[in-house]
Amino acid sequence: MSRTAFVNARLIDPASGYDEKGNLLVEDGMIADLGSQLFSDGLPDGVEVVDCGGKVLAPGLIDCRVFTGEPGAEHRETLALSSKAAAAGGVTTMIVMPNTDPVIDDVALVDFIERRARDTAVVNVHTMAALTKGLHGDQMTEIGLLRDAGAVGFTDGVKAVANAQLMRRVLSYAAHVGALVVQHAEEPALATGVMNESELAGRLGLAGTPAISETIMIERDLRLLELTGGRYHVSQISCEASVDIIRRAKTRGLPVTCGVSAAHLQLNENDVQSYRTFFKLSPPLRAEQDRLALVAGLADGTIDVIVSSHDPQDPEVKRRPFAEANFGAIGLETLLPAGLALVHNGDLPLGRLLAALTCIPSDLLGLGRGRLVTGLPADLVLIDTEVPWRLDPANLKSISKNTPFEDRLFQGRALRTMVGGRTVYVHGEDAGR
């Protein structure tokens, strides 16, 4: 029997609001016991002891939106490499998107990802399968069969389902089988720019994408949701108007949830002024007013989860003029520190931040994780919320280095990550496979 005792920890379980100094015991990959009185009679024999030094011990983070290059573009990133980046960021479960080659749109490919992850990844990996075959937006995939094969949700990733009739059918069928529909909310006919449509875009000579491209899609889909029922999730929102729309929809009782990327919580369109392509994201970085609205929406629960939207891109497609470069930035290793910046700024309590990264995404996807509860898998992260550090892309585990946070000074990081009772990352050590 393998046993690990975490002592002198600040235990935080965001789901219950539990926040106390105490200890936690892991036995054979599961949380065996925890609390302030645990080990009051002494430590058991043969146990590995981890002195947390008063640091935060919380459920491992769950990232609902991760793009990898496997299969088909392993030069960008493999499941193995992305999982090591995840572990370094305190992420114990990552949900990979279907935008691969071939597209994850049938049972065999879901099975491939699951098996490949079991063989090579150091964190838990689950799959979102495609909503439409080949991501072409004209034919629904076999949602029921894909769900039975292990897909935890359905999305076309960075592509929106533009056909309203098809989306109606998708929502209706998904409601019947209990599947989660995830939309990338950008109306393709309007989302033709490379940054936010604004006066700044005009000055920079860059084509803009208006915020209405996002709100039109969300409004349409919510009307369809009222008609069909089911569960609908907007993968990322980026503007104040979207926050307002979703807040009103929730007030009406509609089963809608949404996410926001860590980058959109920390950056705005002004960062694009350098023409640095690592700030070229989809949806684009918006105005500061929009960023502040996103932070407020996260604080009041309108926005449910925070995602990294990790999207590795190689230098050949990023070292181009801004208008020609690919969209996307990596984010697995900066998800937690970017979120902690909100805590340090007084925008968000630590418990709310951790909830958006643990129990809420777990409940959304039916994972049964994201809590400090006896009997659950020991997916844990030890966090130093105060340590200052500067991000050097050379030190990132991701093979692609397209981070928008280069040279950013952060406060707080993951010190140790455990998945199923196995330590997969220790800051300053190479603990992974």
The DSSP line for 319-361 is SS-TTTSPP-B--TTTHHHHHHHHHHTTSS-HHHHHHHHTHHH
User: Positive or negative CA dihedral for 410, 412, 417, 423?
Assistant: positive
The burial class, CB within 10 Å (0-12 / 13-18 / 19+), for 390 is exposed
pLDDT at residue 15 in the model: 98
Q: Is the pLDDT of residue 431 over 90?
A: no
In CATH terms, the superfamily for domain 3-57+377-390+410-426 is: Urease, subunit C, domain 1 (2.30.40.10)
376: exposed, middle or buried (Cβ count in 10 Å: 0-12, 13-18, 19+): middle
Element (H, E) at 173: helix 164-177
Predicted pLDDT at 365: 98
Give all strands of the β-sheet with 153-155 in edge-to-edge order.
61-66, 91-96, 124-129, 153-155, 180-183, 231-234, 256-261, 305-307
Q: What is the arithmetic mean of pLDDT over 405-420?
A: 98
Classify residue 19 by burial, with Cβ atoms within 10 Å: 0-12, 13-18, 19+: middle
Comparing CA positions, the residue from 27, 29, 15, 96 lying closest to residue 59 is: 15
Tens digits of residue pLDDT in 339-358: 999 999 999 999 999 999 99
SS3 assignment, position 410? strand
Is the model's pLDDT at 432 over the cut of 70? no
- Asked if the model's pLDDT at residue 433 lies above 60, the reply is no
Q: How do residues 356-374 score in pLDDT, each as one tens digit?
A: 999 999 999 999 999 999 9
Q: Where are the alpha helices (DSSP H) in 252-331?
A: 262-266, 288-299, 315-318
Q: List, for residues 11-30, the tens digit of each pLDDT value.
A: 999 999 999 999 999 999 99
Burial of residue 257 (number of CB atoms within 10 Å: 0-12, 13-18, 19+): buried
| DSSP label at residue 188 | T
pLDDT for position 430: 66
* Dihedral over alpha carbons 307, 378, 152, 354 (to 10 degrees): -30
Please report, for the chain, the start and end positions of each structural domain, with discontinuous segments joined by +: 3-57+377-390+410-426, 59-365
Please enumerate in sequence order all residues whose Cβ is within 8 A of that of 225, keeping only pairs 6 or more positions apart, or say none. Answer: 171, 232, 254, 255, 256
Q: What are residue 101's phi and psi, to 5 degrees?
A: -130, 100
**High-pLDDT (> 70) share of the chain, %:** 99
pLDDT at site 11: 98
Calculate ∠ Cα 414-417-423, nearest 5°.
145
Question: What's the fold here for domain 59-365?
Answer: TIM Barrel (3.20.20)
Amino acid at 185: A
pLDDT, average across residues 224-241: 97
Angle between helices 164-177 and 212-228 (to 10 degrees): 50
Q: Residue 45: what pLDDT?
A: 87
In this structure, the dihedral spanned by the alpha carbons of residues 407, 408, 410 and 416, taken in order and rounded to 10 degrees, is: -50
- Nearest of 256, 313, 261 to residue 282 by alpha carbon: 261
Compute CA 102 distance to the chain's CA centroid, rounded to the nearest angstrom: 23
How many other C-beta atoms lie within 10 A of the C-beta of residue 17? Answer: 9
**CA-CA distance, 313 to 324, in Å (whole number)?**
13
Percent of the chain with pLDDT over 90: 97
Residue whose token pair is 């209405």: 212
pLDDT for 146-188, tens place per residue?
Answer: 999 999 999 999 999 999 999 999 999 999 999 999 999 999 9
Largest CA distance in the chain: 69
The residues pairing with 419 across neighbouring beta strands, listed in sequence order, are: 422
pLDDT number for residue 55 = 98
Average pLDDT over residues 80-89: 98
- In Å, how far are 249, 255, 297 from 252, measured between CA atoms? 5, 9, 17
> What's the chain's average pLDDT?
97
Q: What residue type is 359 in one-letter code?
A: C
- C-alpha 431/C-alpha 433 separation (Å) is 7
